[in-house]
Amino acid sequence: MSILSFILFLIVASVCAFLAERLVPNSVPGGFLTSAIVGIIGAWVGGSLMGHIGPDLAGVALIPCILGSALLVFVVSLFSRSFKSRHA
């Protein structure tokens, strides 16, 4: 993977993270930066688990990236909500 394709992956994964944050009812604390980091990790996990399904942009499959990002954003928001309610 070249540096240009890695930068394109980060941009596409950040957009997928933004879409995933809008799909999930609870948001991740820390704003867009935290959501983008969680979304990028989720996009990588989703792309690794589901493979190359659906349309792609710059070599990044969009459906697995959005689903992986949404799943990881949802899990992180659940953990942060339970952590906040337990220590409040």
- What DSSP string runs through 9-67? HHHHHHHHHHHHHHHSSSPPTTHHHHHHHHHHHHHHHHHHHH-S-S-EETTEEHHHHHH
**Per-residue pLDDT at 52:** 83
**Per-residue pLDDT at 86:** 63
State the Cα–Cα distance between residues 45 and 67, nearest whole angstrom: 10
pTM given for the model: 0.76
Instruction: Look at residue 61 and tell me whether its pLDDT is greater than 70.
Output: yes
State the Cα–Cα distance between residues 28 and 38, nearest whole angstrom: 9
Annotated domain spans of the chain: 3-86
